[in-house]
């Protein structure tokens, strides 16, 4: 299958989960441990409860800000191995068609587990330095694609 389409499908599922607060869908698309890196921090999440708490904080924050569209668009994706895909995408956060923050570049790594592509690592082109991320802080580096490969573990 086309890695860009698989990557986009995974992004769409997780974006939908974030906007609707569907933690079960979100968890079904996550692989643990999950490595999350920003321009200012690196975190390794190993516990499902921690994933849910981080997810719930972000989801509630976006809803509180009136976010109507959380759109992540694949720019490129490739197989690193038959069971690993790495991709680059840009995130757009909108409220009724208006941007409420600048788009930012991110890379993520998917792993194939039990027949489903799950997120295992991410490098978000944002400035946040603590978890949970309540809202992505974009800065001067937002348009610069994070370096590849994605830091893992």
pLDDT of residue 145 exceeding 70 = no
pLDDT (average), residues 120-146: 76
Q: Determine whether 141 is exposed, middle or buried from the number of CB atoms within 10 Å of its CB (0-12, 13-18, 19+).
A: middle
- C-alpha–C-alpha distance, residues 38 and 16, integer Å: 22
- C-alpha–C-alpha distance, residues 69 and 71, integer Å: 6
pLDDT (average), residues 2-13: 98
- pTM of the predicted model over 0.85: yes
pLDDT of residue 10 exceeding 80 = yes
User: Which of 13-27, 36-50, 63-77, 130-144 is predicted with the least confidence, judged by mean pLDDT?
Assistant: 130-144
153 pLDDT tier (thresholds 50, 70, 90): very low
pLDDT score at 129 = 83
> Residues 26-63: pLDDT tens digits?
999 999 999 998 888 889 999 999 999 999 999 999 99
> Residues 84-132: pLDDT tens digits?
999 999 999 999 999 998 888 899 999 999 999 999 999 988 888 888 8
The neighbouring-strand residues paired with 71 are 92
């Amino acid at each position: 299958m086309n890695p860009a389409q698989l990557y986009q499908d995974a992004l769409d599922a997780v974006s939908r989960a974030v906007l609707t607060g569907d933690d079960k869908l979100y968890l079904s698309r996550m692989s643990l441990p999950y490595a999350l890196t920003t321009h200012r921090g690196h975190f390794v999440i190993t516990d499902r409860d921690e994933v849910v708490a981080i997810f719930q904080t972000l989801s509630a924050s976006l809803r509180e800000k009136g976010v109507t569209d959380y759109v992540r668009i694949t720019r490129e994706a490739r197989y690193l191995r038959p069971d690993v895909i790495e991709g680059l995408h840009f995130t757009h956060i909108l409220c009724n068609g208006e941007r409420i923050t600048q788009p930012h570049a991110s890379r993520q790594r998917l792993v194939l587990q039990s027949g489903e592509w799950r997120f295992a690592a991410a490098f978000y082109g944002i400035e946040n330095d603590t978890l949970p991320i309540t809202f992505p802080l974009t800065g001067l580096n937002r348009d610069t694609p994070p370096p590849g490969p994605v830091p893992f573990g």
